[in-house]
Amino acid sequence: MFSRIVRPTSTLACQGARNFSSSKQNNTKVTVVGAAGGIGQPLSMLLKQSDLITELSLYDIVKHTPGVAADISHMNFPAKVKGFTGAEQLRDSLKGSQVVIIPAGLPRKPGMSRDDLFSANASIVRDVAAAVADVAPKALVGIITNPVNSCVPIFCEVMKKAGKLDPNRIFGVSTLDLVRASAFIGEAKGLNPKDVNCPVIGGHSGVSIVPLISQCKPAVQFSKDELTKMTVRIQDAGTEVVKAKAGAGSATLSMGFAGARFAISLLRALNGESNVIECAYVLNDVAGTKYFATPLLLGKNGIEKNLGIGKLSDFEQELVNKAIPELKDNVAKGEQFVK
């Protein structure tokens, strides 16, 4: 059973929309695994624009990955872009990376749950984790591949087996949930969505996605009915896109944007910037589930401090109570896969 944790809320707001350029950092290599895909391409295109990256390594199993790299390399920003393809080049692509972002794997089709992707994607994440353990064990890793709730435990278990696990460096990327919360709340309240910050905790699937609208900045008021509708819309937003794309995949462009925001936040923290906060799904015992997304203060070594979940409304507490059993199942499934 989840025990209520009450912490001050003032530090909980995650970053809002950001410009992707910032002051320069030397010798920072970022690898995108799954770079030729629907998310990988826009994500890589956005990352190329960051002054915080000196080398952008693009890896995908498909043969045209060097072509994607050639294409992006013509954008007039300083990061050197290199393309890698085929299983034999995975380790070369990762070697020496400070940040690794993983959008590799199958997306959903209408009627599927994220968990239905487990059989296709679990082994991809396992194999990438083994390569990271070998050649980039200190990298900060962002896992986008679904089901995120199980893929992060898979990644951590592989790192643990290799004796390389540092839980402060491995993140399930739930940033799109925050991006959506800002967009939908901003739209509903006539606010600029760039200025709306609503923490989203829990996991990244259906009921495990828990928006903390009571902690939104600026503060917003909804009737009980509106609050329920807004919460459900944020929880089901991925499915909304899957349905609208009618068999052609899931969110790619908004995820490319969200993934870039998360990667840049890691890089800003690596670069010594203070007060960089993002929510992400990480190993912790905040809610008794082993893995749980919360706001995190980021630093040079990944998570500097877990900021916890703050004070929840009764409505949000109920949502957390519903999220916990689903998360426990998802985590156990991921861990079991590696054992």
Could you report how far apart the first and last alpha carbons of the chain are, in Å? 26
Q: Specify whether the CB–CB gap between 97 and 230 falls below 8 A.
A: no
- Answer yes or no whether residue 176 interacts with ligand OAA by CB under 6 A: yes
- Answer yes or no whether residue 114 interacts with ligand OAA by CB under 6 A: yes
> Which 163-222 positions form the footprint of ligand NAI (CB under 6 A)?
173, 176, 204
Q: Where are the beta strands (DSSP E) in 107-206?
A: 140-143, 170-172, 200-202
Task: Tell me how many residues contact ligand OAA (CB under 6 A).
Answer: 11
> Which 60-119 positions form the footprint of ligand NAI (CB under 6 A)?
60-62, 103-108, 117
Cα 158 from Cα 126, distance rounded (Å): 7
- Answer yes or no whether residue 144 interacts with ligand NAI by CB under 6 A: yes
User: Which amino acid belongs to residue 186?
Assistant: G
**82 has which bridge partners?**
57
Cα 14 from Cα 232, distance rounded (Å): 21
Task: Tell me how many residues contact ligand NAI (CB under 6 A).
Answer: 31
Q: Indicate the length of the chain as a whole number.
A: 339
Is 288 labeled as ligand-binding? no
Cα 59 from Cα 30, distance rounded (Å): 11
- Answer yes or no whether residue 130 interacts with ligand NAI by CB under 6 A: no
- Answer yes or no whether residue 82 interacts with ligand OAA by CB under 6 A: no
204 part of the active site = yes
Is 146 labeled as ligand-binding? yes
Cα 142 from Cα 2, distance rounded (Å): 26
Toward ligand OAA, which CB reaches closer, 165 or 242? Answer: 242
Is 185 labeled as ligand-binding? no
Q: Which stretch binds ligand NAI (CB under 6 A): 48-56, 142-150, 179-187, 228-236?
A: 142-150
CB atoms under 10 Å from CB of 102, counted, come to 27
Nearest to 198 by CA among 17, 14, 19: 14
Binding residue (CB under 6 A) for ligand OAA from 108, 169, 268, 290: 108
| CA dist 95 → 31, 118, 119, 317 (Å) | 9, 27, 28, 43
Is 180 labeled as ligand-binding? yes
Give the CA count within 13 Å in the CB-facing half-sphere of 86.
4
- Answer yes or no whether residue 146 interacts with ligand OAA by CB under 6 A: yes
Toward ligand NAI, which CB reaches closer, 39 or 156? Answer: 39
Catalytic residue of the set 29, 48, 169, 204: 204
For 277, phi and psi rounded to 5 degrees?
-125, 130
> Which 239-268 positions form the footprint of ligand NAI (CB under 6 A)?
249-252, 255
For residue 315, give both structure tokens: 């409505």
- Write each residue from 216 to 245 as x if it is in contact with ligand OAA (CB under 6 A), else as -, in one continuous string: ----------------------xx-xx---
Nearest to 278 by CA among 140, 186, 166: 140
Is 1 labeled as ligand-binding? no
Catalytic site residues? Answer: 204
Residues of this chain that interact with ligand NAI (CB under 6 A) are: 33-34, 36-40, 60-62, 103-108, 117, 121, 124, 144-146, 148, 173, 176, 204, 249-252, 255
Residues that bind ligand OAA (CB under 6 A): 107-108, 114, 146, 176, 238-239, 241-242, 250-251
